[in-house]
């Protein structure tokens, strides 16, 4: 009876109304209107941010794969100096938090490039945010890709490598015809995880002001005060991207 009296009291009703208003501050306008792709809705802004996130993730993954392939070969077949430098690279990148690396590479890296251009007599340039984001995340992804690809190469039966060398294959032909096809089944699970990590790491670029999904969500929520609505929508977009990626990656792994 005490519970019934408490729940039916005016204070409890007022508290419930306040809670609903806190969760859905823009309920009068309607969630559908807020998420509409047509202004004054912010759906188009969120989708544009998602597109930028995908562009960065794809570019960073490609750069990371290129660095990882070269790094893995350098660690396995390079000289002592090359192996030591690559060991320092992978250790530092995997030890330092990614947010710190992004801030360091984004600001210090662009400033270093402009200082070098100035020293050589060229004018300073404005580096594209998209290119900088891809380069920064690609550099981070490259350290993890190096270890994934190196492990995949080590998993190849050495008899295949020895047979290819016995046939007189050049290093380039050996890489294209034997090593890369044979290592893919071992590397795809790890590289798939790195892709999913890259899609989420794009949100870290919001701290340097690059417009992607996280920054678009923060802007929309800040203007409308509908924080719950927009952050749930952003989470749903990230989830759909991950589910679609898992579908594609599963087909690639089966193939």
Q: How many domains does the chain have?
A: 1
* pLDDT tens digits along 55-108: 999 999 999 999 999 999 889 888 889 999 999 999 998 888 888 888 888 777
Q: Please report whether residue 1 resides in a domain.
A: no
Q: Please report whether residue 14 resides in a domain.
A: no
Q: Please report whether residue 138 resides in a domain.
A: yes
Q: Please report whether residue 135 resides in a domain.
A: yes
| Least-confidence region, from 29-33, 119-123, 138-142, 210-214 | 29-33
What is the domain extent for residue 139? 53-211
Q: Please report whether residue 4 resides in a domain.
A: no
**What CATH number should be reported for the domain holding residue 95?**
1.10.3720.10
Q: Please report whether residue 226 resides in a domain.
A: no
* pLDDT tens digits along 149-196: 998 888 888 888 888 888 888 877 887 888 888 888 888 889 999 999
Q: Please report whether residue 235 resides in a domain.
A: no
* pLDDT tens digits along 198-245: 998 888 888 777 888 888 888 888 887 878 888 888 899 999 999 999
Q: Please report whether residue 255 resides in a domain.
A: no
One DSSP character per residue, the chain reads -HHHHHHTSHHHHHHHHHHHHHH-TTTTT-HHHHT-SSTT-SHHHHHHHHHHHHHHHHHHHHHHHHHHHHHHHHHHHS-HHHHHHHHHHHHHHHHS-HHHHHHIIIIIIHHHHHHHHHHTTPPP----HHHHHHHHHHHHHHHHHHHHHHHHHHTS-HHHHHHHHHTT--HHHHIIIIIHHHHHHHHHHHHHHHHHHHHHHGGGGGGGT--SHHHHHHHHHHHH--HHHHHHHHHHHHHHHHHHHHHHHHHHHH-
């Amino acid at each position: 009876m005490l519970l019934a009296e408490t729940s039916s009291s005016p204070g409890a009703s007022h508290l419930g109304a306040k809670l609903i208003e806190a969760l859905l501050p823009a309920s009068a306008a309607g969630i559908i209107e807020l998420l509409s792709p047509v202004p004054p809705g912010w759906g188009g802004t969120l989708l544009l941010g998602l597109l930028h996130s995908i562009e960065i993730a794809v570019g960073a993954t490609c750069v990371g794969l290129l660095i990882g392939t070269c790094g893995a070969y350098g660690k396995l077949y390079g000289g002592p100096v090359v192996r030591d430098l690559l060991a320092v690279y992978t250790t530092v990148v995997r030890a330092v938090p990614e947010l710190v690396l992004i801030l360091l590479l984004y600001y210090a890296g662009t400033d270093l490039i402009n200082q070098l251009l100035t020293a050589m007599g060229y004018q300073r340039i404005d580096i594209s945010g998209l290119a900088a984001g891809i380069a920064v995340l690609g550099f981070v992804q490259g350290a993890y890709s190096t270890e994934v690809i190196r492990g995949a190469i080590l998993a190849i039966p050495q008899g295949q490598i020895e047979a290819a060398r016995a046939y007189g294959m050049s290093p380039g032909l050996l890489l294209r015809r034997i090593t890369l096809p044979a290592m893919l089944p071992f590397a795809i699970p790890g590289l798939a995880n790195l892709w999913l990590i890259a899609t989420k790491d794009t949100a870290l670029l919001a701290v340097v002001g690059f417009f992607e999904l996280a920054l678009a969500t923060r802007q929309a929520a800040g203007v409308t005060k509908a924080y719950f609505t927009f952050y749930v929508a952003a989470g749903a977009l990230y989830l759909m991207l991950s589910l679609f990626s898992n579908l594609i990656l599963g087909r690639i792994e089966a193939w």
